[in-house]
Amino acid sequence: MNESTEIINEILQSLGIDTAYRTDALTLLEKGESRYLRDLKLNLTSTLTSEHLNTKECALIGLATAINNNNSLLIQFFNRYAEEQGATPADTAEAAGCASLLASNNVFYRFRHFTQKEKYGQIPARIRMQLMMKPVTGKEFFELMSLAISAVNGCEMCVNAHEDSLIKLGATEERIFDAVRITSLVTATGKIVF
């Protein structure tokens, strides 16, 4: 067994996936004995902890990102990890709700931002957002998940609005940065394992 296969097996085992599992992307990395596999393994591991987020928060951001990206294997992994870190069913449901709500908001507000038409800014959005009003995970953390998902979905207006809200709520820039770092790495992992 070569080093690439060993690393892939370690990645799959850490995710709770049978080591025989392969995607086309994993096969390409394995056959090419890509050095990227080491990076992938370390990057995935670094999504699980943070100096600025607790492990439950890391898990919930990972879960919201996996749901946003429609990645079943990572949804299962981050849901298990969130539960192991003390997340309740209400917490994990909120991560799912956040991913769905932000999917609609990011499309809608990106449209408003792209068109730059004053008229579209005057028409009511008519998107229900009660989930944002009193989140079970707390206002600051819900904003953090919202920012992370908005970054993945590329909504500049939403990223700026959530970042501004977070600063006003007392979040540090390091905390914000780490949430986006985690969501970017979960997204990258999902390009290889899905």
Residue 3: phi, psi to the nearest 5?
-60, -40
CA pair distance 37, 163, nearest whole angstrom: 32
Q: Which of 127, 143, 120 is nearest to 60 (CA)?
A: 143
Residue 118: phi, psi to the nearest 5?
-60, -35
**Which tokens sit at 76?**
């299962």
Q: Which residues are part of the catalytic machinery?
A: 155, 158
State the amino acid at position 119 in one-letter form.
Answer: K
Distance from first CA to last CA of the chain, Å, rounded? 23
